[in-house]
C-alpha cells in the first residue's frame, strides 16, 4: 500500500507538487496522468527517494519513507522500489546480463541466487538470447525489456515507471503495454506509472491520478474519469476523443443560442462527441460549423468542425457523404456543467 | 553520351578542388616525410646513420638512453595528466565543489601558457647553482636544493604535467558532462555507494575519454622540446627531441633524421595503441530521453579540503608561474626574486657593469625584429592554415572523390600525430637543398611558415568542418527554400553563424604558433629569430631575466588572443543554446 498525506514539493519557492494526498492498495496499478510540467515526474521521483518532499508524509504500507516536515527520508535502495527511466538508463559498458546483475551484486546476493534471478527476469521478458549483447547492440524495444528485467530482478515491492514507452514507435508501444501489465500481474507488486498519454492511463490503470499544475484534479478509476469528470480539465484531457467543452454565457450556448436547460448559467458545458448529431438541416440547438478534419475510426468518423474559433468534435456513422452545409445538433442538456473556474457544478 | 558542357565544367571544378588540396597536402605533409625516409635509406650515408644510432658504441648515448627518458617522460606525463585532469573534471562536472565554474575555466588555461614559460618558472624557484647562472628562490632562502629537484627528468615531468593536464581535463570533462544523469540515478536506486558508482559506472563510461586524454598528453610530452631542453640539457639529460635538435645543430643531419623517424614511430605506436583500445570497445551511444538534469554529488565533509586542493592546482599551474616569471624579470639576483627590483631587463640601455653589457629587451634590436617577425608569421600562418582548412573541409564534404578524398582527410590530420621537432627535421630534409630550379629554403621565413601551416592544419580543418557544417546543414537549406541567393545566404546566415567560430579558430592557431618552440627551434632564421627562440637562447646563455621578460611578452600576446577567443566562444554558445 502506498499512501501520501499532504505531500508538497517546492523548488526555489514555486510548488511543483502541491498538497497531494491519496492512497492505493497493494497490487494496484496507479497512473499519474497529466500534461508536461504538471508535477507527475516529481511525484514519482519523491516515491523513488530521488527527491525529498518539502512537506507531508509518504508511507509504503505502515512504514514512513519520507517526511517533509522533519526531513526524514529512507534512501532509494532501502525502499524496496525499482524504477524504469524514460531513457532506460542502461549502463552502456555492461552486457544485458551485466546490467541485470549489477543491482543484485550491490545487494550482495549470492552467486547462485543472482544467476537464478537473472534467468528468471530475462525469461519473463523474453530476452534470454540477448544476455551477452551490449545495450548499444540491441533495438529500442529490446532495450526497454532489458530495463524492465533489470528493475524486476531484485523483486521490488513497488515498481515505478517514468514515461517508459515514450521512446518507442506506436506498434511497439501497444505491445509493451500488454507486456508491462503481464509483468505487473506476475510480480504482484504495486505499480506507479507516469505518462502524459491518456490512452495508456485508460488501458492500464486500476487508479488514475489526473494532475494539473502540481495538484491532483481527480483521483479515480479510469472509467469514472470518463463518466464523472471532476473538473473541466479532466473532461477535456481524457477520452478518445475527449469531451467537448462548450462555453456558455447568459444561459446561451456560445453566448448565442438560448436554451431553457441552461437557466442563466455561465461556464462550460460538457458534450461528448457521441451526443452531437451531424446534420444538414437547420433546427433548434443546431449550428453551422466550418469543417476542420475527419478522422476515420473503427468504421465511424470523428468529424471536427470549428465554431467561433472553438473545435467541436462529433461522431458520424458509416461512410455516407457529409452534407455540404455541415451542421452540428447539440443534445437537449449537457452531460455535465462546469463554472468558469472549471469546477464541476452539475 | 556526352555531358552538357556546364555539367562537365562543374565536375572538373569539384574534382579540381579536391585534386588541388591533395597536391598541396602532398607538398606540405607527405613529401617531407617521404624525403626524410628516403634520405636515411641511402645505401652509404643512410645505412651508416642507422647503424650509428641503433647499433654502435654510440647508440646508448644517441638513442637508447634518450629513448628510455622519452618513454618515461611520456608515460609519467600521461598518467599524471589523466589523474590531475580527471580529478578536476570530476570535481567540476559531478560535485558541488565551491567555485566550479572558475576552476573549470582555470583548468583550461595551462595549455595556453607555453611550456618553456612553466619550465623557466620552475627554474626560478628550484634552480641550484650547479650549472652556473646562480640558484633560484629556494636556494636564496638558504635551502640546499638537490640536483634531482633542480634538473633532469623529475622537473621535466612535473612541468609537462602542469602544461598538458589541461588537455586531459578538457576531454574528460566533456565526456563526464555528456553522461546521462539517469545512468547515475539508476545506480543510486540500487543502493550502491558513491565510490562504487564512481568506479563501477562513471569511470567505465568515460574510459574512452580517459584514454584519449592520456594519448594526447603522451604525444605532447614525447615531442616536447622546451622543457627537457631547459631543465634537462644542463645536466645532460637527453630526450629524443633534444638529441635530434643536437644532431642537426652540429651538422650530423643523417643521424638527426634517423632519430626523427624513430621519434615519429614511438609516438605513432602509442597513439595507435590508444586508438586500438578505443575502437575495440563497444559503442557507448546511449538512448536519449529527457535525461535528468545533471545530479551533483554532495561532497560533505571533504568539501573544503578538495576545494583547496583544486584551487591550489589551478593556482600553481597558471597564476604562480606567470607571477614568478614577472618577479624574476625584475630581480637582478636570481637568489632574491623580490629584492632590488629594476626595470633594466626590460628597458635598460647597455651598461658594461650590468648583465655583462646586455641591454634591456626593448633596447635589443633583435627583440623588436623578433616581435614583428613573430606577429607577422602568426597572422599569416593562422590565416593561411584556416583558409586551407576551409577549402579542405569543403572538398571533403561537398565534393567526394573516391580514394582522393580519404587521402586528403588523412593527410590533413597526419601532422597531429607528428612530433613538431621531427616534422621540422623532415622539412629540412626536403627543402634544405635546392629542388630542381627552386632554391633551397633552409633558413628562410617561407620554410618556417610552410612547416607551421602544415602543423596547424589538423586544427584548422576541424574549424573548417564546423564552419562548412553551418553552411551545408538544414539551416542553410531552410534559407535556400526561401529563395535567398548564395551571397544573401552567406551574408545573412552563414557568416553570422560561422564568424565567431572562425575567428576563435584563428586566434587559437595564432596562440599556438607564437608559443611554438619545437618547430621554430630547428627552422628559424638566424638573422631574425622569433620570440620563443629568443627566449630560449637567452635562457641557454644564462640570461634568465631576459628570457623571462621575452616569455612574458609572448604570454601577454597569448592571453589577449585567448581571452578574445574565449569571449567569442562563450557568446556563441549562449546564442545557440
> Mind giving me the DSSP string for B201-264?
IIHHHHHHHHHHHHHHHHHHHHH--HHHHHHTGGGT---HHHHHHHHHHTT-HHHHHHHHHHHH
Given a cut of 90, whether residue A169 has pLDDT beyond it is: no
| B484 and B384 together in one domain | yes
B287 and A87 within 8 Å at the Cβ level: the answer is: yes
The last residue of a domain, from among B279, B294, B318: B279
CA distance B288 to chain A (A): 6
Measure the N-to-C terminal CA separation of chain A; round to a whole number of Å. Answer: 33
In the prediction, which pLDDT does B290 show?
A: 44
Q: Phi and psi dihedrals of A7, rounded to 5?
A: -75, 130
Residue B547 forms part of a structural domain: yes
A201 and A329 in a single domain? The answer is no
| Residues of B whose CB is below 8 A from A86 | 182, 289-290
Whether residue A262 sits in one domain with residue A219: no
Residue range(s) defining the domain that contains residue A109: 2-233
Q: Which residues of B touch A107 (CB under 8 A)?
A: 190-191
Same-domain status, A151 and A168: yes
Q: Is residue B312 part of a domain?
A: no
Report yes or no on B416 lying in a domain: yes
Helix B203-223 vs helix B153-178: crossing angle, to nearest 10: 140
Shortest Cα–Cα distance, A281 to chain B (Å): 46
Q: Do A161 and A281 reside in the same domain of the chain?
A: no
Taking CA–CA distances from A90, the nearest residue in chain B reads B183
Largest Cα separation within chain A, whole Å, is: 77
Residues A72 and A215 in one domain: yes
B274/B360 same-domain check: no
Burial (CB count within 10 angstroms: exposed 0-12, middle 13-18, buried 19+), residue A122 = buried
A324, A279 Cβ separation under 8 angstroms: no
Chain-chain contact of B190 with A50 (C-beta, under 8 angstroms): no
Look at residue B291 and tell me if it is in a domain. no
Least confident of A165-169, A188-192, B40-44: B40-44
Does B204 map to a domain? Answer: yes
- Number of structural domains in chain B: 2
A309 and A279 belong to one structural domain: yes
CA distances A9 to A43, A83, A193, A246, Å, are: 8, 20, 19, 34
Number of folded domains in chain A? 2
What confidence tens digit (pLDDT) does each residue in A262-313 have?
888 889 999 999 999 888 888 888 888 888 888 888 888 899 999 888 999 9
**Nearest CA-CA distance, residue A110 and chain B, Å:** 16
Chains A & B: contacts with CB separation below 8 Å: 94
Residue A344 falls inside a structural domain: no
Query: In the block, which residue shows the cell 611558415?
Result: B449
For residue A48, what pLDDT is reported?
92
Query: Do B499 and B417 belong to one domain?
Result: yes
Residue B24 lies in a domain: no
Residue A346 lies in a domain: no
In the numeric block, which cell numbers belong to residue B14? Answer: 569539384
Pick the last residue of a domain from B279, B303, B334.
B279
The verdict on residue B351 lying in a domain is yes
Spatial separation of the C-alpha atoms in residues B482 and A251, rounded to whole Å: 50
Question: Mean per-residue pLDDT for A320-346?
Answer: 85
In a domain, B552, yes or no: yes
My answer on whether B262 and B358 are in the same domain is no
* Residue where one domain finishes, among candidates B229, B258, B279: B279
Contact B182 A86 (CB under 8 A): yes
Does A89 contact B180 at a Cβ distance shorter than 8 Å? Answer: yes
Report yes or no on A258 lying in a domain.
Answer: yes
**Which residue in B186, B207, B279 has the most chain A C-beta atoms within 10 A of its own C-beta, making it the best mutation to test that interface?**
B186
For residue A216, the SS3 value is strand
Does some domain include residue A325?
yes
Q: How far is C-alpha B211 from the chain's CA centre?
A: 18
Asked if residue A255 and residue A210 are part of one domain, the reply reads no
Q: Do B288 and A90 touch (CB under 8 A)?
A: no
Can you give the pLDDT at residue B572?
A: 45
What is the distance in angstroms between the CA of the first residue and the CA of the last residue of chain B?
A: 51
Clarify whether residues B371 and B449 are in a common domain.
yes
Residue to mutate among B197, B282, B286, B287, with most A CBs inside 10 A, is B287
Q: What is the mean pLDDT of residues A234-255?
A: 90
Residues A255, A224, single domain; the answer is no
**How far away is chain B from the Cα of A267, in angstroms, using its nearest Cα?**
37
Query: Cβ of B286 and A87 within 8 Å?
Result: yes
Of A198, A213, A233, which one is at a domain's C-terminal end? A233
Measured between CA atoms, how close is A109 to chain B, in angstroms?
12
> Of the candidates A233, A251, A286, which is a domain's last residue?
A233
Whether residues A181 and A266 fall in one domain: no
B211 touches chain A (CB under 8 A): no
A33 and A179 both lie in a single domain: yes
B283 and A CB contact within 8 Å? yes
| Residues counted in chain B | 577
CA dist., res. B445 & res. B439, Å (int): 13
Nearest by CB to B282, from A136, A143, A154: name it: A136
Same domain, A164 and A246: no
Instruction: Tell whether A175 is covered by a domain.
Output: yes
Residue A71: is its pLDDT beyond 90?
Answer: no
Answer whether B185 touches A (CB < 8 Å). yes
Residue of chain A with shortest Cα separation from B283:
A136
Partner-chain contact A89 B290, CB within 8 Å:
no
A contacts of B187 (beta carbons < 8 Å): 91, 102
Same domain, yes or no: B189 and B74:
yes
Show residues of chain B in contact with A88, CB under 8 Å.
182, 287, 289
* Chain B positions in Cβ-Cβ contact with residue A103 (cut-off 8 Å): 189-190
Closest-CA residue of A relative to B205 is: A93
- Report whether B432 contacts B35 (CB < 8 A): no
With an 8 Å Cβ cutoff, is B541 touching chain A?
A: no
Nearest to B87 by CA among B99, B103, B72: B103
Rounded CA-CA distance B417/B68 in Å is 20
Region of poorest pLDDT, from A315-319, A320-324, B402-406: A320-324
Q: What own/partner pairs with CB < 8 Å and gap ≥ 24 does A236-240 have?
A: A237/A33, A237/A34, A237/A35, A237/A198, A237/A210, A237/A212, A238/A33, A238/A198, A238/A201, A238/A202, A238/A208, A238/A210, A239/A198, A239/A202, A239/A272, A240/A198, A240/A199, A240/A202
Pairing of strands A207-212, A310-316: unpaired
Query: Chain A: nearest CA to B208, how far in angstroms?
Result: 11
> Do B410 and B496 fall within a single domain?
yes
Q: Which three cell numbers mark B544?
A: 634568465
> Does A91 contact B285 at a Cβ distance shorter than 8 Å?
no
HSE-up of A323 (CA within 13 Å, CB side)?
14
Q: What is the predicted pLDDT for the residue at B561?
A: 86
Tell me, what CATH number does B234's domain have? 1.10.3720.10
For residue A215, pLDDT beyond 50: yes
Q: Which of A208, A233, A258 is the last residue of a domain?
A: A233
pTM of the entire structure? 0.80
- Contact of B345 with B545, CB cutoff 8 Å: yes
What is the pLDDT at residue A76?
87
Please give the residue of chain B at the shortest CA–CA distance from A167. B289
The contact set of A with B (CB < 8 A) is 48-50, 75-78, 81-83, 85-93, 102-103, 106-107, 134-137, 140, 143, 154, 166-167
Higher pLDDT, B51 or A209: A209
Same domain for A273 and A158, yes or no, is no
Residue A20 lies in a domain: yes
Q: Mean pLDDT in each 10-residue stretch from start to end of chain B (577 residues)?
A: 54 72 90 87 77 81 90 95 94 88 87 86 83 74 81 92 92 85 88 88 88 88 90 88 89 86 88 75 47 64 87 90 85 72 74 69 80 91 91 80 84 85 87 77 84 91 80 70 76 75 84 87 81 87 83 88 76 41
Which structural domain range is residue B109 located in?
A: 32-113+159-279
Rounded to 5°, the CA angle A316-A317-A318 comes to: 125
Q: Which residues of B touch A83 (CB under 8 A)?
A: 185-186, 189
Question: Is B190 in Cβ contact with A106 (below 8 Å)?
Answer: yes
Amino acid at each position: 500500500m502506498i499512501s501520501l498525506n499532504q505531500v508538497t514539493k517546492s523548488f526555489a519557492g514555486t510548488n511543483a507538487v502541491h498538497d497531494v494526498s491519496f492512497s492505493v492498495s497493494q497490487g494496484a496499478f496507479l497512473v499519474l496522468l497529466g500534461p508536461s510540467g504538471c508535477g507527475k515526474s516529481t511525484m514519482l521521483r519523491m516515491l523513488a527517494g530521488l527527491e525529498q518532499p518539502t512537506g507531508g508524509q509518504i508511507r509504503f504500507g505502515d512504514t514512513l519513507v519520507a517526511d517533509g516536515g522533519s526531513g526524514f527520508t529512507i534512501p532509494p535502495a532501502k525502499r524496496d522500489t525499482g524504477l524504469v527511466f524514460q531513457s532506460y538508463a542502461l549502463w552502456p559498458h555492461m552486457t544485458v546480463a551485466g546490467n541485470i546483475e549489477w543491482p543484485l551484486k550491490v545487494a550482495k546476493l549470492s552467486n547462485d541466487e543472482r544467476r537464478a534471478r537473472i534467468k528468471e527476469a530475462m525469461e519473463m521478458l523474453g530476452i534470454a538470447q540477448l544476455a551477452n549483447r551490449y545495450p548499444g547492440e540491441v533495438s529500442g524495444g529490446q532495450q526497454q525489456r532489458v530495463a524492465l528485467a533489470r528493475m524486476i530482478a531484485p523483486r521490488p515491492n513497488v515498481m515505478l515507471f517514468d514515461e517508459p514507452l515514450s521512446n518507442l514507435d506506436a506498434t511497439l508501444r501497444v505491445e509493451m503495454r500488454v507486456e508491462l501489465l503481464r509483468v505487473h500481474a506476475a510480480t504482484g507488486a504495486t505499480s506507479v506509472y507516469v505518462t502524459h498519454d491518456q490512452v495508456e492511463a485508460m488501458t492500464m490503470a486500476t487508479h488514475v491520478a489526473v494532475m494539473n499544475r502540481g495538484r491532483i484534479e481527480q483521483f479515480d478509476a479510469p472509467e469514472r474519469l470518463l463518466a464523472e469528470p471532476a473538473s473541466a480539465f479532466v473532461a477535456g484531457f481524457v477520452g478518445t476523443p475527449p469531451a467537448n467543452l462548450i462555453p456558455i454565457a447568459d444561459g446561451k450556448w456560445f453566448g448565442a443560442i438560448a436554451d431553457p436547460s441552461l437557466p442563466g448559467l455561465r461556464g462550460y458545458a460538457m458534450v461528448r462527441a457521441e451526443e452531437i448529431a451531424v446534420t444538414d438541416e437547420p433546427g433548434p440547438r443546431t449550428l453551422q460549423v466550418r469543417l476542420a478534419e475527419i478522422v476515420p475510426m473503427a468504421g465511424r468518423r470523428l468529424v471536427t468542425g470549428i465554431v467561433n474559433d472553438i473545435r467541436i468534435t462529433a461522431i458520424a456513422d458509416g461512410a455516407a457523404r457529409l452534407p455540404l452545409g455541415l451542421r452540428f445538433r447539440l443534445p437537449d442538456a449537457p452531460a455535465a456543467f462546469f463554472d468558469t473556474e472549471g469546477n464541476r457544478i452539475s | 553520351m556526352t555531358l552538357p558542357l556546364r555539367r562537365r565544367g562543374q565536375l572538373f571544378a569539384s574534382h579540381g578542388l579536391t585534386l588541388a588540396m591533395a597536391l598541396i597536402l602532398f607538398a606540405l605533409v607527405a613529401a617531407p616525410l617521404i624525403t626524410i625516409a628516403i634520405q636515411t635509406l641511402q645505401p652509404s650515408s643512410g645505412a651508416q646513420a642507422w647503424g650509428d644510432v641503433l647499433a654502435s658504441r654510440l647508440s646508448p648515448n644517441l638513442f637508447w638512453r634518450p629513448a628510455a627518458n622519452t618513454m618515461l617522460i611520456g608515460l609519467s606525463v600521461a598518467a599524471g595528466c589523466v589523474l590531475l585532469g580527471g580529478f578536476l573534471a570530476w570535481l567540476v562536472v559531478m560535485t558541488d565543489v565551491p567555485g566550479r565554474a572558475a576552476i573549470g575555466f582555470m583548468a583550461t588555461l595551462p595549455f595556453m601558457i607555453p611550456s618553456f614559460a612553466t619550465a623557466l618558472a620552475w627554474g626560478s624557484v628550484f634552480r641550484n647553482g650547479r650549472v652556473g647562472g646562480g640558484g633560484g628562490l629556494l636556494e636564496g632562502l638558504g635551502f640546499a636544493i638537490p640536483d634531482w629537484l633542480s634538473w633532469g627528468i623529475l622537473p621535466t615531468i612535473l612541468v609537462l604535467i602542469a602544461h598538458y593536464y589541461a588537455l586531459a581535463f578538457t576531454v574528460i570533462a566533456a565526456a563526464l558532462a555528456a553522461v546521462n544523469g539517469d545512468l547515475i540515478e539508476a545506480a543510486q536506486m540500487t543502493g550502491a555507494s558513491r565510490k562504487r558508482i564512481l568506479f563501477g559506472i562513471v569511470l567505465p563510461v568515460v574510459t574512452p575519454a580517459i584514454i584519449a586524454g592520456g594519448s594526447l598528453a603522451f604525444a605532447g610530452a614525447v615531442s616536447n622540446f622546451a622543457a627537457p631542453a631547459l631543465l634537462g640539457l644542463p645536466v645532460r639529460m637527453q630526450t629524443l627531441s633534444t638529441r635530434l635538435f643536437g644532431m642537426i645543430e652540429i651538422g650530423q643531419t643523417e643521424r638527426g633524421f634517423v632519430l626523427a623517424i624513430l621519434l615519429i614511430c614511438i609516438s605513432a605506436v602509442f597513439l595507435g595503441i590508444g586508438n586500438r583500445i578505443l575502437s575495440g570497445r563497444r559503442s557507448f551511444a546511449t538512448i536519449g530521453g529527457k535525461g535528468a538534469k545533471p545530479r551533483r554529488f554532495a561532497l560533505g565533509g571533504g568539501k573544503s579540503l578538495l576545494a583547496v586542493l583544486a584551487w591550489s592546482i589551478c593556482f600553481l599551474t597558471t597564476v604562480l608561474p606567470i607571477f614568478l616569471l614577472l618577479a624574476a624579470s625584475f630581480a637582478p639576483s636570481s637568489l632574491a626574486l623580490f629584492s632590488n627590483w629594476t626595470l633594466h631587463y626590460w628597458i635598460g640601455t647597455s651598461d658594461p657593469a650590468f648583465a655583462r653589457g646586455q641591454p634591456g629587451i626593448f633596447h635589443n634590436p633583435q627583440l623588436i625584429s623578433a616581435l614583428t617577425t613573430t606577429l607577422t608569421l602568426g597572422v599569416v600562418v593562422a590565416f593561411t592554415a584556416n583558409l586551407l582548412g576551409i577549402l579542405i573541409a569543403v572538398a571533403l564534404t561537398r565534393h567526394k572523390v573516391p580514394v582522393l578524398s580519404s587521402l586528403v582527410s588523412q593527410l590533413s590530420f597526419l601532422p597531429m600525430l607528428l612530433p613538431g621537432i621531427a616534422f621540422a627535421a623532415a622539412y629540412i630534409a626536403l627543402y634544405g637543398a635546392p629542388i630542381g630550379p627552386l632554391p633551397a629554403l633552409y633558413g628562410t621565413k617561407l620554410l618556417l611558415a610552410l612547416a607551421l601551416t602544415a602543423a596547424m592544419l589538423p586544427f584548422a580543418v576541424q574549424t573548417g568542418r564546423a564552419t562548412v557544417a553551418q553552411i551545408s546543414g538544414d539551416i542553410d537549406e531552410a534559407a535556400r527554400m526561401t529563395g535567398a541567393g548564395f551571397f544573401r545566404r552567406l551574408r545573412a546566415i552563414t557568416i553570422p553563424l560561422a564568424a565567431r567560430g572562425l575567428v576563435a579558430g584563428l586566434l587559437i592557431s595564432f596562440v599556438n604558433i607564437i608559443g611554438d618552440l619545437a618547430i621554430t627551434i630547428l627552422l628559424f632564421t638566424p638573422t631574425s629569430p622569433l620570440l620563443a627562440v629568443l627566449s630560449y637562447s637567452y635562457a641557454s646563455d644564462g640570461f634568465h631575466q631576459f628570457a623571462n621578460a621575452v616569455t612574458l611578452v609572448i604570454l601577454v600576446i597569448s592571453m589577449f588572443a585567448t581571452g578574445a577567443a574565449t569571449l567569442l566562444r562563450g557568446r556563441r554558445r549562449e546564442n545557440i543554446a
